Structure formats: structure tokens, C-alpha cells
Amino acid sequence: MTATTLSPADLTTERSPFVQFLGDVWVLTRRSLARIRREPETLSDVTIQPVMFVLMFAYVFGGAIGIPGGGGYHSYLIGGMLGMGLAQTAPGTAVAVVSDMETGLIDRFRSLPMSRAAVLTARTIADLLTQVIGAAVVALVGVAIGWRITGGVGPAVEAFALALLFGYAFTWAGVCLGMVLRSAETAQQAGFIIFLPLTFISSAFVPTQGMPGWLQPVAEWNPMSSLAAACRQLFGNPNPAAAVHAWPAQHPELAVVCWSVALLVIFAPLAVHLSNQGTMITRFT
Amino acid sequence: MSDTAAIEAEGLVKHYGKTRALNGLDLTVARGTVYGLLGPNGAGKTTAVRVLATLLRADGGQARVLGHDVATQAGAVRRVIGLTGQYAALDEYLTGRSNLVMIGELSRLTGRAARRRADELLEQFDLTDAADRAVKTYSGGMRRRLDLAASLIGHPGVLFLDEPTTGLDPSARALMWDIVRQLVADGTTLLLTTQYLDEADQLADRIAVIDGGRVIAEGMPAELKASMGGQRLLITLTEGSDASAAAAALRPFTTRPVIPNEWDRLIEVPVTATDGLATEVVRAMDAAGVKVNDIAVRSASLDDVFLTLTGHKAEENEKTEVTA
């Protein structure tokens, strides 16, 4: 064999653990982005899907939905669509985690002298980057159908930051989902089952005022409602939730931050714990 | 503890619910040797490898790899091992080269060293032409080679190969065997699990037969075969022959009971080979009025060893197969 031996200069073992962690995250984030470069169609859930949803809601349902307190549905819609566009990447996160476990790649990573937390962190960072694309797509389609930011640049930046914060926190729930489920199909289905009611029983597409009384509290406390209300308020769009007396409707920005922190505090350590438990496959033999 | 052992395990225990995957497994593997873990599906081979490679924590017992404890010094163990599992653990969407560079960088190589090692390994494993293609276009044999290359990128002192040829066609399998032999020539210690007896026989310096989560026999392949009584006598009777008369005539030649089989004209019994054995058997058959079509004396195979030790054949028992 022609193999050369490794000299100390070839190794990064002298670097501090934190620098090694960042290096590992960088290597693995690059890996996920390389996949997007090779197969751009994997981005369809943050490109084609949001465009379809915006257009369908704006032109099919929009005419039938009245906004309490006035205002056009197109201006109302985008604040809710932003949250949906980001939340709907979570099933994709779960599927990616499952497929890494299925191929044994996670096992390989676990046998390497690398940071174990880096695997999951890199996954969520790569997904955050795709969420940035999703947010931009929603905003561009919004502009095309007549949505405008009237609240100024600063609040608009804050709205996007809140949406991405929530989207990022939600990604960790997706990681956990992938860790506990055993196949890509079930992860996809479970993601759909969780994600559909989460977005539809909220003020993302319709004001909660029109819902039956027993459902209104559920929708009012749904984080998607808070995110939609916060974005509408910051963008200067019609925000009927301002007339709702529930705490999250009155303090949507704080509610989004609380929900995001809660999701992170619960699901990030849980994901790390589950990954330390070992993967499900090849337990026997 | 001896300094020469690459892997030492004592009394490893691992439960999965009520299943005892490891039930007091002991193992000593000398440096620079190939050690075969042989057993059916569900015997505990993969669990043993996963504990030794720090992927799983044992519930009891202890193990060291090149002197590092797998439980308390897992980081040090991971720096000196390579692992190739049953499935090619690769990113399907990356090229072969990108996979190797990624694993290299995660194995604490600098980017430059990782790229250099990737080029070396691609050439060594005859993958240079396919280096810049996505792995999902690779054949099964190419994936296994790339997977093995990936586990070698950090020059591991101990390499774990978990069923490296399961599912490969014979030519891809032969190629993997060549690569494994080459690795050993370089001084790498190899722990190989397999359910193929011929593979263990071909590659391993020593073999442990595992069943029910512990070692039920251990030794060099030749020792294991010799301990099973050495030779087998195979006789094929003519159609219509009296099998029970044949069995009775064979009793003086073997220590084991000969059970006549009315519908099968083939009789196989363990024997101790002596000069002129075949002649004497033919004479005894003739005296009993039994006509013989074929007679053969062969050495016991590892199949026989396995069957005798475990009571079942090596490649049955599929029901405990992976429950992904």
C-alpha cells in the first residue's frame, strides 16, 4: 500500500473543544448544503409549496374571508403564511434525521472522535438556511399579490427574526420526531399530522373570531397565531388579533419568544439525549 | 492486563428489555491479528462490536481497546478505531471523494490532510474513476469499498468490520477479502463479524463462536475443526438399500449414534480417520448386504463445528433479523 502516515501537523486534535465543535458543525452544514446544490428539488417545500399556498389562499379563499376591523385579505395573509412556510420544514428535518440513522451514517459519526452535538446542530443550521430562503419566497410572492410592509424597516427585520427564531426552535422538534420514529414514511406522516392542525387551528389563514367558542382558546394560544399576529403588527398589516383579549394575542412578540425558548429548552436537550441513547437499527445480531 | 492485546473484553452484558444481547462475553484479540466473531443473526455479534466501538454502553463488564476503556475513555477509543457496519454508512448525495474528505475532517484531520488521504484511499480501493460521482450511482461492491476506505481515513489501529460482505456477489466478496488481507499485512488489528463460516475460515487467525450473547468456543480455525472429531464419513447407498442394516454396520466405526434414515440414501457420521478406513467400511457394508454408490472421508468444516456447538446451522435463525 502507498498510504502515507499522518504527522501531527495533519491533525486538529490540539484545537480547543469549542473550536473543534465549530469545525464539525461547519463540515456537516456544508454537507447538507452540498446536497441542496446537487438536488435543488429538495428545496421545493420552501419554494414551490409556499408560492402555491399563497396563491391558493389569496385567490380561492381570500374573497370569502372577511377581516374583522377591516383590511384586505392579501395584506392579512402573508404574516400567517410566513409561519407556515417555516414550520412546514420540520417534517423534512425529521425525514433527514431518519434517513441518516437508516443509512448508518449517524452510527459512523458516533464512532468518530468528533463532537456528537455537532451532528444535530449542523442539521438545524442547514434547515435554518433553507428557512431563510422560504421566508424570502413568501415575502416576494406577497409583494407580487399586493402585500406591503408599512411599519418600517426595523420592525420588519424584527418580524423576520421572530419568524426564523420560531422556525429554528421548531426544527429541534423535527429532530426529535426523526429520532423516535423509525422510517422516513412515518416521519413524513407524523409531521403532517402535527403540522396541519398546528397551522390551520390558528389565525394564520383566518381570524379566530369566526371559530366556534370552544375552539377559540386553542387557536388563540397556538404559537402559530402568536407568530402571525406579531408579524402582522410589526409589518403594519391588518391584525384582528389585537381585539382578542387572550394574553398571547395582546403580547404576540413576547409569546413567540416564550414559545421558541420553551421549544428549544425541551427539544434540544431531548434530541441530544435521544441521540446518546443510540440509534434503533441493528440492535440485534 | 497484557500490553500486547489490542482488544480485551471481560464479562460484557447488554440487555434490550428482556433480551440479553450479551451475556458475559469475554474476548482477547492480539495486536496485528484478524479475529473472527462467528454466529447466527441475533447471537450478539453486532452488539459486541457496538459496545467495543463506543456506540453502546454495556450494562456490565468492561472492555479496553488499545488500552483505553470503552466506557470511561470513549474519546480516546474513537481516535484509534475505524468502524464499517453492515450498511454502507455514506451520504448518498455526496460524491465518493466528498464523503471521504468529510469523514477525514470529522476524524480530526486538517482539510489538506483529509483531501490527501482521500486521494490515496480512492486509488487504493480502485475508485478513482468514480470519485466525483454521487454515491447513489455506485454498485453494492463500490459502496462497501468506499465505506471501508472511510473507516481507514484516520489510520486506525483497530478496525471493526461488521459483516463486511453480507449481500455482496462472489466477485465483490473476493475483492473485499483481498483488501482485508492487505490491511492485515499493514499491521492493522481486525475484528470481523460474519455469519459465513468460509469467510471466518479464510480470513481469521482466531475465531470465537458466539451464541446467545457469549462465546461458546474459541481457537484457531484448525483447532476448532480438530476438536469436533476431525473427519466425517459420507456414504451414498444404492436405491432400495436397507438403511438400518447400513447404520448397524457403521456402528463400530463411530462414537456417535447412527440414526438410519429411510428416505435419504446419504449417511453422514463423524469418524476417527485411520489407515484403510474406507476399505474396511466397504467390507462391512458388503458383509451386511448393503450396496454402496459412493463413499468419502472429509475433514470437518466450520459448518460442522457450528452445528455441533449450537444445534442449528449458521445461516438459519433469520427471525431475529434487524427490526429497523
Name the closest residue on chain B to residue A108, using Cα atoms.
B89
Q: Which of residues 37-66 of A touch B (CB under 8 A)?
A: 38-39
**Is residue A254, in this structure, part of any structural domain at all?**
yes
Considering only CB atoms, which chain B residues are within 8 Å of A179?
A: none
Whether residue B317 is predicted with pLDDT greater than 50 in this model: the reply is no
Q: Which of residues 179-208 of B touch A (CB under 8 A)?
A: 182, 186
> Shortest CA distance to B83 belongs to which of B48, B41, B113, B49?
B49
Considering only CB atoms, which chain B residues are within 8 Å of A6?
A: 109, 113, 117, 154-155
> Shortest CA distance to A112 belongs to which of B92, B53, B70?
B53
- The reply to whether residue A108 touches residue B103, judged by beta carbons under 8 angstroms, is yes
Q: Distance (Å) from the C-alpha of residue B279 to the closest C-alpha of chain A? A: 45
B184/A175: higher pLDDT: A175
B68/B249: higher pLDDT: B68
- The reply to whether residue A112 touches residue B75, judged by beta carbons under 8 angstroms, is no
Q: Give the whole-angstrom CA distance, residue B248 versus residue B93.
A: 65
Is residue B67 a contact partner of residue B77, using CB atoms and an 8 Å limit?
A: no
Q: Positive or negative CA dihedral for B237, B240, B245, B247?
A: positive
- The reply to whether residue A27 touches residue B105, judged by beta carbons under 8 angstroms, is yes
Which domains does chain B show, CATH number per domain?
5-220 (3.40.50.300), 229-299 (3.30.70.100)
Q: What is the pLDDT of residue B3?
A: 61
Q: Which of residues 92-121 of A touch B (CB under 8 A)?
A: 102-105, 107-114
- Asked if B222 is an interface residue toward chain A (Cβ–Cβ < 8 A), one would say no
Considering only CB atoms, which chain A residues are within 8 Å of B87?
A: 102-104, 282
Residues B272-289 have pLDDT tens digits of 767 888 888 889 888 988
Q: What is the pLDDT of residue B78?
A: 93
- The reply to whether residue A280 touches residue B324, judged by beta carbons under 8 angstroms, is yes
CB-nearest to B102 from A13, A31, A278 is A31
**Is residue A108, in this structure, part of any structural domain at all?**
yes
How would residue B323 be classed by pLDDT, with cut points 50, 70 and 90? very low
**Is residue A5, in this structure, part of any structural domain at all?**
no
Mean residue pLDDT across chain B: 85
% of chain B at pLDDT higher than 90: 41
How would residue B80 be classed by pLDDT, with cut points 50, 70 and 90? very high
B87/B181: higher pLDDT: B181
- Asked if B144 is an interface residue toward chain A (Cβ–Cβ < 8 A), one would say no
Residue A243: partners with Cβ closer than 8 Å, 6 or more residues away: A68, A69, A209
Total tally of structural domains belonging to chain A: 1
Q: What is the pLDDT of residue B230?
A: 66
- Asked if B126 is an interface residue toward chain A (Cβ–Cβ < 8 A), one would say no
Find residue B23's DSSP bridge partners: B13
pTM of the model: 0.80
**Is residue A3, in this structure, part of any structural domain at all?**
no
Q: Which of A1, A2, A111, A275 to mutate to test the interface with B (most CBs of B within 10 A)?
A: A111
Q: What is the mean pLDDT for each group of 10 consecutive residues in chain A (285 residues)?
A: 66 84 94 87 87 92 84 92 88 88 87 89 93 95 94 94 95 91 84 87 91 94 95 93 90 96 95 73 35
AA letter at B85:
G
Whether residue B261 is predicted with pLDDT greater than 90 in this model: the reply is no
**Is residue A9, in this structure, part of any structural domain at all?**
no
Considering only CB atoms, which chain A residues are within 8 Å of B79?
A: 13, 113
AA letter at A162:
L
- Asked if B159 is an interface residue toward chain A (Cβ–Cβ < 8 A), one would say no
Mean pLDDT throughout B128-133? 95
Q: What is the pLDDT of residue A285?
A: 30
**Is residue A27, in this structure, part of any structural domain at all?**
yes
- The reply to whether residue B94 touches residue A110, judged by beta carbons under 8 angstroms, is no
Q: Distance (Å) from the C-alpha of residue B324 to the closest C-alpha of chain A? A: 5
How would residue B136 be classed by pLDDT, with cut points 50, 70 and 90? very high
**Is residue A152, in this structure, part of any structural domain at all?**
yes
Q: Which helix (H) or strand (E) holds A126?
A: helix A116-144
Q: Which of B91, B116, B122 to mutate to test the interface with A (most CBs of A within 10 A)?
A: B91
Considering only CB atoms, which chain B residues are within 8 Å of A2?
A: 120, 123-124
Q: What is the pLDDT of residue B244?
A: 82
- The reply to whether residue A10 touches residue B83, judged by beta carbons under 8 angstroms, is no
A175/B300: higher pLDDT: A175
**Is residue A124, in this structure, part of any structural domain at all?**
yes
The ipTM value here is 0.83
Residues B26-54 have pLDDT tens digits of 999 999 999 999 887 888 899 999 999 99
> Shortest CA distance to B271 belongs to which of B225, B219, B230?
B230
- Asked if B248 is an interface residue toward chain A (Cβ–Cβ < 8 A), one would say no
The DSSP bridge pattern shows strands B206-211 and B34-38 to be parallel
- Asked if B85 is an interface residue toward chain A (Cβ–Cβ < 8 A), one would say yes
Residue B137, C-alpha cell as written in the block = 450511482
Considering only CB atoms, which chain A residues are within 8 Å of B94?
A: 31, 34-35, 38
Q: What is the pLDDT of residue B158?
A: 95
Is residue B35 a contact partner of residue B191, using CB atoms and an 8 Å limit?
A: yes
Q: Which helix (H) or strand (E) holds A236?
A: none
Mean pLDDT throughout B196-206? 87
Q: What is the pLDDT of residue B48?
A: 94
Considering only CB atoms, which chain A residues are within 8 Å of B134?
A: 38
Q: What is the pLDDT of residue B309?
A: 74
- The reply to whether residue B41 touches residue A114, judged by beta carbons under 8 angstroms, is no
Is residue B276 packed enough to be buried (19+ CB in 10 Å), middle (13-18) or exposed (0-12)? Answer: exposed
Residue B69: partners with Cβ closer than 8 Å, 6 or more residues away: B62, B63, B77
The whole domain housing A232 covers 16-32+41-276
Name the closest residue on chain B to residue A285, using Cα atoms.
B42
Residue B219, C-alpha cell as written in the block = 481457537
CB-nearest to B155 from A5, A280, A281 is A5
Residue B254, C-alpha cell as written in the block = 463411530
- The reply to whether residue B106 touches residue A11, judged by beta carbons under 8 angstroms, is no
Q: Distance (Å) from the C-alpha of residue B295 to the closest C-alpha of chain A? A: 38
- The reply to whether residue A284 touches residue B323, judged by beta carbons under 8 angstroms, is yes
Lowest mean pLDDT among A234-238, A262-266, B145-149, B259-263: B259-263
